[in-house]
Amino acid sequence: MQSVAVIDYGASNLRSVVKALEYVSQGRHKILLTDSPELIHSADKIVFPGQGAIKQCMDSLVHKGLDLVIKESIFKKPYLGLCLGLQALFDSSEEDGGTLGLGIIPGNVLRFPEASKDEYGEAYKIPHMGWNLVNHDKTHPMWDGISEAERFYFVHSYYVNPDNKEDVCGSTDYILPFTSVVARENLFAVQFHPEKSQKSGLQLLLNFLNWQ
């Protein structure tokens, strides 16, 4: 039985991610919510979920020594990043006056521009919250069973801006076109919340469990 380590750094949505993974696994995988470097090292797959502020996330990772574990393990086994688990991969974020990330994906994290208006003259709300379309920028096993322009659930005020276009696997439009999915080798990370995205989100989580 393969083990899946869900990184526990104190985020509020961890339990819902674990329950969603357990649901799609149907007992075929051992889902571990853990902050143990040893268990993360030994797991077959890694899920890094999260919501909230990036500085608190990074401070907790460093305090627990999980930043080093992620850097050592991330290209050795399948990795799925969700929301902050995507943003933390980048070099830095504008949030909290500037926060250093893990530096795994070249690029930075930017805040949506304020005072932007839609085609009807209505102001866009920040954070970007609710259902939105995700376009497939390239083919990937993680898209199996998921239609082009499928809807997923978002909650965020910042978006990732990769330096290299080849890292972009999905994109979304809110205020401006932004990268909502990155992929590289055995790494796949999304800005949206699969655990809140009903059928399409569960399919993505199942694809990750099946991804070899």
Alpha-carbon gap, residue 116 to 95, rounded angstroms:
19
Residue 29 annotated in active site: no
Tokens of 139: 């083919």
Rounded to the nearest 10°, the torsion over CA 71, 72, 76, 80 is -30
Residue 57 annotated in active site: no
Tokens of 114: 């304020």
Active-site annotation holder among 29, 57, 83, 169 = 83
Kind of pairing between the strands at 45-48 and 2-7: parallel
Residue 156: closest CA among 127, 183, 184? 127
Residue 83 annotated in active site: yes
Alpha-carbon gap, residue 80 to 185, rounded angstroms:
12
Alpha-carbon gap, residue 47 to 20, rounded angstroms:
12
Alpha-carbon gap, residue 206 to 142, rounded angstroms:
9
Residue 211: closest CA among 186, 183, 177, 178? 186
Active-site annotation holder among 128, 156, 169, 195 = 195
For the annotated catalytic residues, the residue numbers are 83, 193, 195
